[in-house]
């Protein structure tokens, strides 16, 4: 499974009170090729049922399944990989805890962070934030721009994922900058019709 196409981050807080598993199903039906489970708020034991359900869904749809931040939760639910931010366990440490085939994604904001993450063993590099976003997380609110993604793409060999405030009106700009995949949260989780929203974003890849 490659890092390519629409990458939908399922954050229960972004789903407007809807069942996050149902939102994920709609995102997959709409063509998402990668799903990330991301819950910054609840304890890991409490997340377990939803995180497992997403894993089953991804298998059904042949999608790649990534868990945010927590290597232990990712392994516990048999995910395909884990995504780590700049404050999480670094990729080289994660690499020592997981099977060789495990995907490790890393959040970066610039060429230096991207190079470091690749050297540390990241399987893909996320660059953000492409556009202003409502999220309060430092990594997502550090501005990057599509031009920055183009610079990163020029210096790393692993796939590059654009993230942060991307929607149907801006996705083409991120793809034109060289993104292999595009990650979204609210553009799908917050959409009235998550399936239609995913379809509109996937159409930009063709």
Please report which residue ranges of 42-124 form alpha helices under DSSP H. 44-61, 71-76, 91-95, 111-120
Q: Does 120 bind its own copies (CB under 8 A)?
A: no
**Has 136 been annotated as catalytic?**
yes
Q: List the x/- string, 61-100, binding to its own copies by CB under 8 A.
A: --------xxxxx-xx-------xxxxxxx--xx-xx---
Q: Of 25, 33, 107, 148, which residue is the catalytic one? A: 107
Residue 163, both tokens: 């993230």
Q: According to the binding rule CB under 8 A, does residue 44 interact with its own copies?
A: yes
Residue 107 or residue 133: which is nearer to its own copies going by CB?
Answer: 107
Using rule CB under 8 A, residue 121 touches its own copies: no
Give the distance from CA 87 to its chain's centroid. 16
Answer yes or no whether residue 196 interacts with its own copies by CB under 8 A: no
Instruction: Determine phi and psi for 160, rounding to 5 degrees.
Output: -115, 135
Write down the catalytic residue from 25, 33, 38, 195.
38
Q: Which of residues 128-167 bind its own copies (CB under 8 A)?
A: none
Q: What is the DSSP letter of 42?
A: S
* Residue 38 among the catalytic residues: yes
The tokens describing 116, both together, are: 């470091």
Number of residues in contact with its own copies under rule CB under 8 A: 24
Q: Which is nearer to its own copies, 101 or 206 (CB)?
A: 101
Using alpha carbons, list the distances in angstroms from residue 93 to 49, 73, 122: 27, 16, 11
- Please report whether residue 17 would count as binding its own copies according to CB under 8 A: no
Q: Which token pair is 10?
A: 């399922």
Rounded to the nearest angstrom, the gap between the alpha carbon of residue 35 and the centroid of all alpha carbons in its chain is 7
Residue 191 C-beta-side C-alpha neighbours within 13 Å? 24
* Residue 3 binds its own copies (CB under 8 A): no
Nearest distance, CB of residue 11 and its own copies, angstroms? 17
The rounded distance, in Å, linking the Cα atoms of 176 and 204 is 10
Residues forming the active site? 38, 107, 136
Which residues contact its own copies by CB under 8 A? 42-46, 48, 69-73, 75-76, 84-90, 93-94, 96-97
């Amino acid at each position: 499974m490659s890092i390519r196409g629409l990458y939908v981050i399922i954050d229960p807080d972004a789903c407007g009170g809807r069942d996050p598993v149902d939102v994920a199903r709609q995102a997959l039906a709409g063509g998402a090729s990668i799903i990330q489970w991301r819950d910054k708020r609840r304890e890991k034991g409490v997340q377990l049922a939803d995180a497992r359900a997403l894993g089953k869904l991804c298998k059904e749809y042949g999608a790649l399944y990534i868990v945010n931040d927590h290597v232990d939760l990712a392994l516990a639910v048999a995910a395909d990989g884990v995504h780590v931010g700049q404050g999480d366990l670094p990729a080289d440490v994660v690499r020592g805890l997981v099977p060789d085939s495990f995907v490790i994604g890393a959040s970066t904001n610039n060429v230096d962070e991207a190079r470091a993450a690749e050297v540390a063993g990241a399987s893909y590099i996320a660059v953000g934030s492409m556009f202003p976003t409502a999220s309060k997380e430092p990594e997502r609110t550090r501005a990057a721009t599509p031009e920055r993604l183009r610079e990163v793409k020029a210096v790393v060999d692993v796939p590059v994922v654009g993230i942060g405030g991307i929607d149907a009106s801006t996705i083409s700009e991120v793809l034109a900058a060289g993104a292999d995949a595009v990650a979204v949260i609210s553009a799908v989780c917050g959409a009235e019709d998550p399936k239609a929203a995913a379809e509109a974003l996937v159409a930009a890849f063709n």
